[in-house]
């Protein structure tokens, strides 16, 4: 049944699939940090400083995967340590969460992990205004609000409509982002952070643990 040359055949047998055009995407890593405080597991959040994009918003530690990072998980740990000032020896990754590809050509890798109990924080004020924690069990009991953001397609000026069926009346597919909003202790958690948080909570529920 093989209609291809041996070289082509063996190449595709060894090839591993990736995200199409991934070399053109910016890669970021996010760390969802858990820590046991006073006997219960808490999730740690950051408030962005006034010196970074989206100042004042709630986020998880994270940032761009650098060339010096061997893996995306190494980047997540590095960013965590740089932003809240914990030792890498006090950090462990529990597992991978699903990765996200955004319309703005970003690939985001997220990891659930732990910081050892009683570890001290030394927040980097250039990136982080403050940190706060929320008991995991409290987050589990919140049903977030959900609102939609509609995405539309807007071809550039000079787009060659004459090359496609129906021309300017082409039925472009519309996109929808389901934004979630968590309200807790006077904070609003939304956007990418809320999407990753919701995903992490759902996966923890699937694990069936009640030890938090």
Give the pLDDT confidence of 66-117 residue by residue, as tens digits: 999 999 999 999 999 999 999 999 999 999 999 999 888 899 999 999 999 9
- A 10 A CB-CB count for 43 gives 22
DSSP designation for 49: -
CA 187 to chain centre: 19
Which residue stretches of the chain have pLDDT < 50? none
Instruction: Give the pLDDT of residue 211.
Output: 63
Say if residues 171 and 179 touch (Cβ distance below 8 Å): no
Alpha carbons 106 and 25: distance in angstroms, whole number: 5
Alpha carbons 27 and 32: distance in angstroms, whole number: 17
Instruction: Give the pLDDT of residue 1.
Output: 52
Say if residues 51 and 126 touch (Cβ distance below 8 Å): yes
Say if residues 64 and 27 touch (Cβ distance below 8 Å): yes
Question: What average pLDDT is seen over the chain?
Answer: 93
Instruction: Give the pLDDT of residue 209.
Output: 65
């Amino acid at each position: 049944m093989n209609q291809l040359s041996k070289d082509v055949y063996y190449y595709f047998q060894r090839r591993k699939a990736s995200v199409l055009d991934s070399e053109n995407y910016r890669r970021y890593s996010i760390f969802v940090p858990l820590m046991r405080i006073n006997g219960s597991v808490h999730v740690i959040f950051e408030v962005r400083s006034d010196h970074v994009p989206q100042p004042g918003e709630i986020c998880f530690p994270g940032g761009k995967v650098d060339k010096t990072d061997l893996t995306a998980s190494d980047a997540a740990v590095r960013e965590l340590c740089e932003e809240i000032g914990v030792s890498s020896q006090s950090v462990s990754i529990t597992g991978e969460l699903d990765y996200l590809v955004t319309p703005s050509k970003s690939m985001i890798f997220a990891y659930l992990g732990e910081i050892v109990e009683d570890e001290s924080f030394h927040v980097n004020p250039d990136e982080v205004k403050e940190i706060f924690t929320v008991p995991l069990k409290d987050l589990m009991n919140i049903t977030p609000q959900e609102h939609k953001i509609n995405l539309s397609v807007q071809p550039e000026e000079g787009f060659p409509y004459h090359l496609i069926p129906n021309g300017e009346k082409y039925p472009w597919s519309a996109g929808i982002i389901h934004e979630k909003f968590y309200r807790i202790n006077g904070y609003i958690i939304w956007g990418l952070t809320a999407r990753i948080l919701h995903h992490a909570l759902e996966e923890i529920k699937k694990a069936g643990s009640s030890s938090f």
